Chains A and B, each alone.
Chain A
Amino acid sequence: MILVALLAVAQATAPDPRLERLDPAARPPVVQLVDSARAMGLPTESLVQRALEGAAKGAPAASIVAAVRRLAADLGRARDALGPDAVPAELDAGAAALRAGAPPAALTTLRRVRRGSLIVPLAVLADLVGSGVPADSAAAAVLALAPSIRDVELMEFRRAVERDIALGAPPATAVRVNATARTARPGRP
Chain B
Amino acid sequence: MFDAGDDLVERIVRHLREPVRVDPALDARVMRDIDPPGSTARAHPWTWVALAAILAALLVVWPWGSAPAPEGGDRRQFVLVAPRAITVALVGDFNDWDPARTPMHATREGVWAAVVPLPPGRHRYAFLVDGAEWRADPAAPRAADDGFGAPTSVATVEAGGT
Contact = CB atoms under 8 A, between A and B. Distances in A.
- Physical contact A–B (CB less than 8 Å): yes
Interface of A: 18, 46, 49-50, 52-57, 59, 63-64, 66-67, 70, 88-89, 92-93, 96, 99-100, 116-117, 119-120, 122-124, 126-127, 130-131, 150-152, 155, 158, 162
Contact of B141 (A52, A54, A70, A162): A162
Q: Is the interface of B mostly helix, strand, loop or mixed?
A: loop
Given A53-B152, A127-B154, A155-B158, 13 more contacts: A18-B96, A49-B124, A54-B148, A59-B149, A63-B146, A89-B159, A92-B122, A96-B154, A99-B144, A123-B156, A124-B156, A155-B156, A158-B141
B142 to A, nearest CB: 6
B124 A126 contact: no
Given A52-B97, A53-B97, A53-B152, A119 B158 contact: yes
B98 interface: yes
A155 B121 CA distance: 13
A56 B150 CA distance: 10
Contacts of B148: 53-54, 57, 59, 63-64, 67
Nearest to A71: B146
A119 B122 contact: yes
B162 A152 contact: yes
Interface in B73-117: 91, 93, 96-99
Contacts of A123: 122, 154, 156
A46 B93 contact: yes
A93 B121 contact: yes
Contacts of A56: 91, 97-99, 128
B158 A89 contact: no
24 contacts: A18-B96, A52-B96, A52-B98, A53-B152, A56-B91, A56-B97, A57-B150, A59-B149, A63-B147, A64-B148, A89-B120, A89-B159, A96-B154, A100-B144, A119-B159, A127-B141, A130-B142, A130-B143, A130-B144, A150-B162, A151-B158, A152-B158, A152-B162, A158-B141
A33 to B, nearest CB: 15
B93 to A, nearest CB: 4
B127 interface: no
B144 A49 contact: no
Contacts of A120: 156, 158-159
